[in-house]
């Protein structure tokens, strides 16, 4: 169990350092399918370990000049995502999960093809909307992404990075760093909600898994950041597009079982 947890943490944590994801979409099937943890507790463990992954990936990447120059993007999307995360947690039991999964499936497939096309067709800044439109759309998108993140127990990087690339014209490396900065408070909001409902203490029975996956996530985040410095942007966009398609496929299969 220790070795599986450590290896899983390293493998999934590498995505956090390399692309800017919490890796939750891949960690949840690992927790449920490989480690045989029930879904409810796996979601809470997922959020906690995602917080570790995102925190250290952001720490290892560092706060570059590009990060500070685009910090308004973080504030713009974060102002919406925190509202969305709060609303998603409160209305989770009232939402039709099958319809939600179908909608997210379509969105993930759409974003993946947009990213693939972005590899071959460079979008120029002249095509971007004016700043006030960016700020308005960023706030609305933030609410939607925050709500989805809260409902699915993920950091939301799979949606945040494409949104930052397409709406603000950022390169994928800068978008990944900004995504980590946005995901961090969003995850904290989710943890706060679970703690407020006195559910968080239930995962203390999985301390060994939590500790070894967290250690693995830190090592993986560091490895990912090392790769981040040498991997070309095109390959990162190709990898993220592939991850979106895999996530969409998993959601599709999950919807059929509901």
pLDDT at 170 over 90: no
The end-to-end CA distance of the chain, in Å, is 29
Determine the pLDDT at residue 256: 55
8 Å CB contact between 98 and 258: yes
In sequence order, what are the residues at sequence separation of 6 or more whose Cβ sits closer than 8 angstroms to the Cβ of residue 132? none
CA angle 37, 12, 191 (to 5 degrees): 60
pLDDT in tens, 41-50: 777 788 888 8
Lowest mean pLDDT segment, chosen from 30-39, 135-144, 211-220: 30-39
Lowest mean pLDDT segment, chosen from 117-121, 224-228, 236-240, 242-246: 117-121
Separation between Cα atoms, residue 159 and residue 149, nearest integer Å: 9
pLDDT at 140 over 70: yes
Per the model's pLDDT, the better-predicted residue between 13 and 248 turns out to be 13
Determine the pLDDT at residue 248: 72
């Amino acid at each position: 169990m220790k070795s599986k947890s450590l290896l899983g943490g390293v493998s999934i944590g590498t995505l956090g350092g390399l692309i800017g994801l919490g890796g939750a979409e891949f960690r949840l099937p690992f927790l449920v399918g490989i480690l045989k943890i029930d879904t409810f507790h796996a979601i809470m463990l997922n959020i906690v370990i995602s917080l570790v992954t995102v925190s250290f990936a952001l720490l290892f990447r560092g706060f570059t000049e590009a990060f500070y120059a685009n910090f308004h993007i973080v504030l713009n999307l974060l102002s919406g995502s925190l509202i969305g995360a709060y609303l998603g947690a409160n209305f989770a039991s009232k939402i039709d999960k099958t319809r939600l999964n179908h909608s997210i499936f379509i969105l993930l497939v759409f974003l993946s093809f947009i990213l693939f096309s972005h590899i071959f067709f460079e979008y120029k800044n002249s095509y971007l909307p004016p700043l006030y439109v960016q700020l308005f759309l960023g706030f609305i998108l933030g609410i939607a992404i925050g709500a989805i993140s809260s409902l699915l127990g993920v950091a939301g990087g799979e949606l945040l990075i494409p949104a930052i690339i397409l709406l603000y014209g950022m390169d994928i490396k800068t978008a990944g760093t900004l995504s980590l900065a946005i995901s961090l408070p969003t995850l904290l909001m989710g943890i706060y909600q679970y703690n407020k409902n006195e559910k968080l203490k239930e995962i203390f029975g999985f301390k060994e898994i939590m500790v070894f996956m967290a250690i693995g996530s830190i090592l993986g985040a560091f490895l990912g950041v090392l790769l981040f410095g040498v991997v070309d942007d095109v390959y990162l966009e190709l990898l993220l597009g592939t991850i979106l398609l895999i996530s969409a496929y998993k959601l599709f299969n999950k919807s059929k079982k509901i």
